[in-house]
Amino acid sequence: MLRTIFNNAQRFHLNTPNFSSTLMAISILAFAPHCDASESKTSTETQNKPEESVETSDELPDRKFAAFPVPITDDALGLGLGVNAMYLHDRAEGAKNPSTSMFYGQYTDTGSGMAIIGHEHVFAHDAWRAGFYAGHFGLNLKYTGRVGMQLPKAAQYSSYSNFVYAEVRKQIIDDLYLGVQGLWSGGNANLNEHTDPEIKKAFEQEMSGSNSALGLLMTYDSRDNMMGATQGLNVDLSTLHYSRDKRTGKRFTRLDAEISQYFPIGDDVLAYRVMGKEMLGDAPEYEFVTPSLRGADWNKYRGSSVYQAEIEYRHKFSTLWSGVAFAGAAVIGNQDRYYTHSVQSEVVPSAGVGVRYLLNAKERFTVGVDAAVSKMGNTSFYIRFGEAF
């Protein structure tokens, strides 16, 4: 599930105990070529020229490494500073896209810190794709409950977790890839509230643990460029089959599906994305899914399922500068396993704008800033490499 720890993974949305997949997706999603697509283009004329003319141009940027500070203003994690860094490797022989390496780290005034490293490799002639990610999180958070079971007052807790993820895909026919993925995640939670010892114990057991999972991948990718698609279709399907949960002794499964498509309109691009995430079986709460929607509070909206859709228009102002406008909505569902056995759901809308700056014309590699407003006026800012999808 690399889309979502560097966009992605934006197909990859990792869940580690005590840390929702969406935050990692935000951290990662900013980096993964599989789901990040910068809309910036050199120009219609440049796209139609041979690739060599782009490479030798003195007027177009050709940066392979970029790093920048990221101010953190998160309702859950507090105020702080992070750093994004990404490196584009030379393309393998006959490959349409480069391999990429990344690092993300941050620390906030609540004593919350994290560090993530990753690499996505594109082999010669696009015959294989592979990825690896690993990370550590030490977070001080507020637990607000989940959809349909919100707490009247947020509870303070600390979590410490790690994860390792790897995937490999083989091209079967043009644009179609099949593969496998594996994930290990583990961590502990401590409730920092004066409360009944039994309540404290039950909370920490529910929010702590470790899991391993194996799954299948299928990708259809006809995009003209993974990092800066201007046309084409990308379909990602994946499964993760988890080991037995220590609480119930039962296995559980995660299903992910995502479709994104891109339509050129002159020098501009119209894109949409629809996706679904579903937990099957009695999954622990720390494995619940959250929306991958800019502006949505990842710490508040969690459930056993998420379905979302969004649309984005990408406008080119000049060779180096472009802007985006986007809107979408997510439906988060949560099945009450213990009491009424009913399914609670909540709809979260979101909209916003952003700006992009072109760093590498050949690879359509950009850096940008997004501002998004969601339910209850919640406003979020994102500094990222590439696009949200």
- In DSSP notation, 175-231 reads TEEEEEEEEEEEEEEEE-S---HHHHHHHHHHT-EEEEEEEEEEEEE--S-SSS-SS
Say if residue 40's pLDDT is above 50: no
Say if residue 87's pLDDT is above 70: yes
Of 43-52, 130-139, 344-353, the range with the lowest mean pLDDT is: 43-52
Mean pLDDT over 335-347 rounds to 64
At residue 39, the pLDDT reads: 33
The Cα–Cα gap between 216 and 14 comes to 15
Mean pLDDT over 281-293 rounds to 84
Mean pLDDT over 162-183 rounds to 95
The Cα–Cα gap between 114 and 116 comes to 7
Mean pLDDT over 340-356 rounds to 82
Residues 301-335 pLDDT 10s: 888 899 999 999 999 999 999 999 999 999 998 87
φ and ψ at 50, to 5 degrees?
Answer: -60, 150
At residue 149, the pLDDT reads: 53
The Cα–Cα gap between 70 and 77 comes to 14
Mean pLDDT over 264-270 rounds to 95
Give the chain's mean pLDDT.
79
Of 47-61, 168-182, 185-199, 206-220, the range with the lowest mean pLDDT is: 47-61
Say if residue 10's pLDDT is above 50: no
Task: Supply the pTM of this predicted model.
Answer: 0.75
At residue 150, the pLDDT reads: 55
Sign, CA dihedral 336-340-342-345, equals negative
Beta-carbon count within 10 A of 7 CB:
31
Q: Note whether 113 and 106 are within 8 A (CB).
A: yes
At residue 70, the pLDDT reads: 84
At residue 160, the pLDDT reads: 87
Residues 13-28 pLDDT 10s: 333 333 333 333 333 3
At residue 16, the pLDDT reads: 32
Mean pLDDT over 64-78 rounds to 81
